[in-house]
Structure formats: C-alpha cells, structure tokens
Structure 1
C-alpha cells in the first residue's frame, strides 16, 4: 500500500494501523493514511479491499484493529444493492438521508435529479429501477448530503455517458472546496479529474 500524502488542507479523516474486512479475509492490514480536503481515489485489483475500506471509514464495517478518526460534519456512505431496500421508493430514500445530514442541500438534489433524469422516478420503488438508476439514487444523495466526507464506491458503473460526464463535472468543482473531502473507490484512478491523492491498495508495501 502506498504511504500517506502530506495534507495540503485542514485535516478531515485519518486511519491509524487500521485492519479489517470480511471476517474470513481481512483485506486491509495496518493501513495508516490521511485524507485532507479535495478529491481522493482508492484503486486496486478485484478483492483488494476498496469497498471494505470505504465501509470501515463509514463505520458500516467494524475494524479488527487500529482506529479511524472521524471528522465533525459527518461521513456519507450508502449501499442500496441489497433486496431489503427493494420496496423503498426513491423519494423515501432521499428523505431518510435528509434527516441524517444537517447540511443537506435540497436545491442541489433537485438539480441533480433533473440532470441525471431521475425526477420521473422519485415515487418508484427501487426494485423497478435499472442498476444504473439505482446507483444514481445513492450518488445524488451523496452529492447533496453536505457531509464533510463523502464516500463513493464505483460511481460510474452502469451509468450512461451523459450521467458520467455530469458526475465528473460535479467532482471537478467539488475538488476545489476547502472543507470537504470526496473519497472514490474504483479499479483505476482517472486522468481527467484533479486528484488530491491516490491510494493504490494493490501496490506493494
């Protein structure tokens, strides 16, 4: 794993000797890393621990060792892939998240819902949506949450090219915000976004 970068903006989130992952396969081993404000990428091969790391950072997955120092202002993480969410409507999902994040931006949510062609799906249950539309529900919520740290897992999978361009345009602007961090996990780091740091979980230690 690569080493921690020197923070270029106020400290937001940090791990110290973090270990964790699925109970039968701890894929993260003693990771120490610091994320400051900006746009960050976590990349690596299949099974290297990208999603597990995001879950550890959010508190959705319990660490086996080490610690995660959370920032004030909240960490956004969402996973709607499970069947337990199938009957929930898009609007209900957004309403649930709105109550959790004090800096929630309803105007931005509306703008994104229109830009990503999700306005017409607001009152549909998730099981009626395509894989791409279901992913958009999470993406729109994350971008509108106002959380200090927003965690996005493979945000471009199953999206049409217009939607990918829309999300990337948002991330380019978000990268310039001085008091928020965006941590994105995907197989490879893009060369068309202004990245503050890249953490390659498949890199040799």
Structure 2
C-alpha cells in the first residue's frame, strides 16, 4: 500500500477562506483559511482544538459566523443546494429518522446525491455485515451497526468531498479492515477528497500517503499542510467532547451564510439529544418581536412595503427571532368545508434564504393535519415523524426538507379563516415552549389585524 501522491493533489477541491466561528465564550476559528486537495487528508490537533467542529462547518451542520466555503467554484453561501450535493459529513452521533429501515434510509439519500453509487452500496453493506440488519429500524440497531450504516452511506454517496469524524470508532476488526481497504483506494483518487479526524488505526502509522491538516488551539489557525509518507506515525488522540448544535449562528438576512444539509437532514439530525429549550438570547429576542411586527405592519399600511416584501420581512423576522430552521406564511383557499387548501406564499430558510413559496397542501390529502390545525388554532409537533396527525406529510413534505418539528398558528381576517404562520425545525426534535407558542399566536393576531386593515382600504390589492 505504498502509493505515490495523486497527481490531482495540487488542485484544491475544498477551499476555506477567512472562516470565523466560536461558541459562547470560546472562539475557535478567526480568519481561518485552508485548502483540501484530492486524496486523503488527516485532520490533527490537540483536544479541544475544534476538529469535530471544523468537519461540521465544512459539511454544513454548523454555520460559520463569517467566511467562505467552496467546493471547486461552488460557494456554500450563494449555491447551498449544489454545495451540499458535493459534500457528505459522517458524524459520530445517532442516525436520523430512526423509524426507517436501512434500505429506506439509503433510498432517501440516493434522491439527495446525484452521484450516489447503488452498486458500491451493495458491496459496502455486505462487507460491513449489514445484510442481517436490513429489516430492522435504525433506532433498534446497536450503535456499531448504526455506525456501519452511516459509513456505508458516506462511502457510497459519490460526493467530491467526504468528511469522516472518528470513522473507526465502534467497528469490529472485519469492518475496520474493509474501511481501511476503501481508504487505501481513496488515497490515490484524483477527483475526490476525504478528510478524516479522530483516533486512527491501533497500529499507529498511516498506511497511505495523506496530507496533514493541523489545528493549533492557541493560534486558532491552520499550520502548514504537508504530505505525510505512508510510514509516518500519526498519533491521533481522542478529542474531548465539546458543545454541539445549539451554538449554530443564525441568518440575519438573505446574504448570510448558512448551509445546513441533510445530507443536510442526516447531518443536522445526528446531533445528539432533542433540543430541550431555547437559549437565553433567543428568549430575550421574543420580547422585541411584537414591536418588530408592528413596524412591518406600519410599513405595509403606509405603502412603504409591497405585499411580497411584507411577507418576506415577516419570514426573516420569525426565523431569526425563533432561531428556527424555516419560517413561512400560508394562505387558505377553497370555500367548501372539507375542501380547503393551503398555499405557501412566502418562506425564509436558514439554508436556502428567501422564497416566494408555491407549495400547496390539500385538505383531501392531509385530512389529519387540517383537522387538528383547524380544531386547535395552534398546532405544535415536537416530532413530525411520529405525530399521528402528520403521517401523510412525512414522505412528500417533511423528509425532503429534513423537517423534524413544527409550530403552526392559524389566523382569521374579518371572521373567516385566512392563513397560517409556520415555523419549522430541522435536525433533532424541538420541544416548543409555552412562551414560544404564545409569541407565535400573538404574531398571528398582529398579522390578522394588519391584513384586515390593508384589504379594507378602497384600493385593489394583491
């Protein structure tokens, strides 16, 4: 396994420019830049230097406060969907969608990654000894089998960049040998890059040529990248566990950088436990929400905003204030009872930015959701994947978007049901607090009054 460095190594596939990121009271990266080329790259650093955090940033599971991420010419901020299709992050947490069986999970990922190699997947499933687990739900699998499922997906995704955090953890000798053989081939790949972090092979020396990317916790910058020969000793240490997902910085406008994927779905969902509650900064921001909405209402009624711009501003305000993944506005259509519909008229996604909507949900297809929403006026779901009222929406709506939790409120105009204000969370389930539910209900009431006044004016409106 003594390979020459691949000729493509001189051309970077992944570029990081001026990256800033840190947790509260703990800055990690300041104006940090680096490049990763084809072949293997070992990510090395002291405990707490940010190795796992960096992989999450590169894969889009965390959002940088500033800087640029590029795979070839594709920039994460300006083309988040294309960027995500070219990077696969395999973390060490539990798998998402634990109600699915492995074939269903693989099929879902196949729809997200254009280069997903079904043939290679079959080989990895056999080599990892997963054949006997294919009829079990992911949540029922032992941790080692879950790890193998995640690795089989990562090795089959066909992305230009593959990020593996602690890839050897929990593997039996046979599975470890298969992973080593796969990485042996990856070392000479001219058009794909593999970045690995975490404890290495027990024997110590890296069995392939690899680039070494070192993180210096004190300097918070990248040391020089060098090519490590196959006989070099790479002394990996088990990194100290650090804070996860809750520290992700949020969008402040359409130009902000936030590419969370699952692939995005899987990656964000693999962040440990359900979100117990919002951070204190988020709670304080709820106090200022009524005033912000009043200001947007005033701009609409004084013709300083068009209807489209008003909707867009509200969505940005909601997504930022609730620190959620997505905020959207929906309008009811249809007149006959039982034949209603909901059309999304505006949305703001922390990954994709603003959208004019367009999704349509029909009561005839999703009766359980409409019935619960209309009956209660406020519908909070901690986990949409297990909510009995939402099962019809799982495959066509929630899975493709990676949505795990939602909070919806209806509002009326002149006594008639008119619209829905919706906030959604990707990743781990989110337990909506009573304060959040009340805040969104109040926002709906404010919007209701503004819309009623707007349409009462003797002028043609949108």
TM-score normalised according to structure 2 size = 0.40
> Could you tell me which of 180, 194, 198 is aligned with 1:168?
180
Equivalent position of 1:52 in the other structure:
53
* 2:241 is equivalent to residue 201 of structure 1: no
Equivalent position of 2:89 in the other structure:
77
> Could you tell me which of 151, 166, 183 is aligned with 2:195?
183
C-alpha offsets along residues 26-67 of structure 1, whole Å, 9 cap, x if unaligned? 323332111010001112233221111111111221101221
Q: How does 1:9-88 map to 2 (within 5 A)?
A: 9-23=10-24, 25-71=26-72, 74-79=86-91, 81-82=93-94, 85-88=97-100
Kept in 1, the 8 Å contact 2:14–2:37? The answer is yes
Say if 1:79 and 1:86 are closer, same or farther in 2 by CA, change over 3 A.
farther
Distance 1:88 1:78 in 2: 18
- Give the stretch that moved more between structures: 90-99 or 194-203: 194-203
Deviation of 1:195 (Å): 3.6
Distance 1:203 1:80 in 2: 22
Kept in 2, the 8 Å contact 1:75–1:149? The answer is yes
Deviation of 1:192 (Å): 2.9
TM-score normalised according to structure 1 size = 0.87
Deviation of 1:175 (Å): 1.1
C-alpha offsets along residues 127-175 of structure 1, whole Å, 9 cap, x if unaligned? 2111111111111111111100011110000111111111011001111
Equivalent residue of 1:102, what SS? Answer: coil
Kept in 2, the 8 Å contact 1:21–1:49? The answer is no
Equivalent residue of 2:10, what SS? Answer: coil
Equivalent position of 2:136 in the other structure:
124
> Could you tell me which of 105, 118, 125 is aligned with 2:117?
105
Deviation of 1:90 (Å): 1.5
Equivalent position of 1:90 in the other structure:
102
Deviation of 1:15 (Å): 0.6
Equivalent position of 1:4 in the other structure:
none
Equivalent residue of 2:67, what SS? Answer: strand
* 2:9 is equivalent to residue 8 of structure 1: yes
Unpaired segments ≥5 residues, structure 1: 1-6
Equivalent residue of 1:117, what SS? Answer: coil
Say if 1:23 and 1:94 are closer, same or farther in 2 by CA, change over 3 A.
farther
How well do the aligned residues superpose, as a CA RMSD in angstroms? 2.3
The structure carrying a bigger helix percent of its residues is 2
Kept in 1, the 8 Å contact 2:22–2:28? The answer is yes
Distance 1:163 1:84 in 2: 22
Equivalent residue of 2:9, what SS? Answer: coil
Equivalent position of 1:151 in the other structure:
163
Deviation of 1:188 (Å): 5.5
Number of residue-to-residue matches in the alignment: 199
Q: Which structure is higher in RCO with an 8 Å CA cutoff and minimum separation 6?
A: 1
Distance 1:153 1:49 in 2: 12
Distance 1:84 1:57 in 2: 19
Distance 1:193 1:156 in 2: 14
Distance 1:188 1:165 in 2: 13
Kept in 2, the 8 Å contact 1:43–1:188? The answer is no
Equivalent position of 1:3 in the other structure:
none
Equivalent residue of 1:77, what SS? Answer: strand
